[in-house]
Amino acid sequence: MRHPLAAVALMLGLLIPCAALAQQNPPEPILRMAIDPPRVVVGQAATLRIDLLAPNYMTAPPELPDFQVRNAVTRQLRSVNENEQRDGVSYAGVRFEFAIHPQEPGSYAIAGQAITIKYAAEPPATREATLALSPIAFEAFIPDAASALQPFLAARNLSIEQTVNRSSDQLKTGDAVTRTVTIKAEGIPAMLLPPVKFAAFDGLKLYPAQPSLQDKTDGRTDVLSSARTDSGVYMLEKAGDYVLPPIDLRWWNTGAQSIDVAHLDPVTLHAEANPAAGDASSIGTSGARRSWGALRDVIADRWKSIALVLLALAGLGWLMPRTIRAIAARHRRHREAYLRSEAFAFSKLRRAARHGDAKAVYFALLDWLRRFEPVAPQHTLEAFRAVAHDAALDDEIGAVERELFAPSAGAARWSPHRLLRQVGGARRNLSRRARRHEHTRLLQNLNPVGPSSTTSFGRPKPAR
């Protein structure tokens, strides 16, 4: 008997420290990073992938840096929910992707960044952790065959088109011609497309307009398409024949690995002299003289009234800016207060529910609870369930959590309509309950009941 007891004691002595060590070292979040490809053509995208997984599930959206890199354009791509099992522990999280488009050849590094995550370590307890991102780098280059391109432009597909609008069919001096050029490309942001330079001529006055830049990303494939539109207005100042020169744009085709040329034909213009221009000028001059003389007579006859009007306008000009600033400041304060309010957070939850995105609805629900006073001080889903005492509400919230963190083929699907109905009903009931409690508390303060009141009013004062 002595040897078996000694063996049991030895085994317990080995297991107890292991259990204590497991309690002292709970599972930590998982962070993985990768960039693909590590070497990319200037202007094309290197994709940064970040896998962020937490034990159990996240209780709030992670706080991500913007991953802006010098001399590069960064845009966020779609995110995908992920689940994983490791050493018997269930992890749930998200894969984030960012497209980084370098503008110049050279090395690019992402370093000194961190992500803050909140997760349910041991529900309902919440833990917060800040995870430092390991430095990661990639290289951008210009192919040798395209080294002569100035400027260098790389795309998967590229096209160029133009429209010419004339103010009249038979152009005369004083008319206008607008030349509009649009470059469309795939795989490169619009801000990296080169500007179109419009030629200037003697006899044509050029007025270039501000460019229009548009980016569009396909929601299913993350393919980026972009467009840049430049336009210039030519005012015809002299009669004659003009030729707006052709436009050739040389670019690197990343699919064919060769240089292509996008071409626009020249535009010919013929402007005739406008016989009415001189007469109109002389008529305008004489009319201006007559108008100035009449105005001078009016000022001489009514200078006192005009002076009073000018003084009144000056006073209004001094008062109006202060009034406008005060009104604008008050409106800004009201707007900022509303953006911080519980009502605004609940309206965001309604909008998310209308779109039917489970992740957006879940995080909007958590954001609203942080501003909903009846669940203070915890402001968590567990506190909301506890004070609501609604089994249907528990079922709807549980369905959303299963959809996000533990999807199962046989589980009941969540319904945005049912969830919003249950949450809205609980919101109304808890708000009414809080108002009744506050009303009762105020009445008790106004009409105190206690030993002090009995002493003051219930007992007669002793006779003197």
Query: Are residues 389 and 348 located together in one domain of the fold?
Result: yes
Token reading at 223: 């393919």
Say if residue 167 is in the same domain as residue 127: no
More confident residue, 224 or 381: 224
| Residue 24 token pair | 């002292």
Confidence band for 380, pLDDT divided at 50, 70 and 90: confident
Q: Clarify whether residues 99 and 177 are in a common domain.
A: no
Domain at 80, CATH number: 2.60.40
> How much is the pTM?
0.54
Domain boundary among 275, 290, 321: 275
Domain assignment present for residue 17? The answer is no
Judge if 156 and 129 occupy the same domain: no
Domain presence at residue 262: yes
- Share of residues in the chain with pLDDT > 90 (%): 42
114 and 153 part of one domain: no
User: What pLDDT score does 24 carry?
Assistant: 58
Return d(Cα 405, Cα 93) in angstroms, integer: 8
Q: Which residues pair with 253 in a beta bridge?
A: 155, 258
160 plus 72 within the same structural domain: no
Rg of the chain (C-alpha set): 36
Among the candidates 116, 141, 166, a domain finishes at: 141
Q: What is the pLDDT of residue 364?
A: 87
Q: Each residue of 300-347: pLDDT tens digit?
A: 666 677 777 787 777 777 766 766 767 777 777 777 788 888 898 899
On whether residue 5 sits in a domain, the answer given is: no
Mean pLDDT of the chain: 82
| Domain enclosing residue 376, as ranges | 342-446
Q: Cα 19 to chain center, whole Å?
A: 46
Helices marked H in 255-302 — which ranges?
Answer: 275-301
Are 254 and 355 within one domain? no
Per the CB < 8 A criterion, the answer to whether 91 and 30 are in contact is yes
* Residue 108 domain-assigned (yes or no): yes
What letters, b where the CB count within 10 A reaches 16 and e where it falls short, cover 126-135? Answer: bbeeebebee
Kindly state whether residues 400 and 436 are assigned to the same domain: yes
Domain membership of residue 357 (yes or no) is yes
Are 81 and 94 contacting, i.e. CB atoms less than 8 angstroms apart? yes
CA distance 204 to 206: 6
Reduce the DSSP state of residue 207 to 3 states and report it.
strand
Number of Cβ atoms within 10 Å of the Cβ of 187: 21
Q: Are residues 121 and 153 in the same domain?
A: no
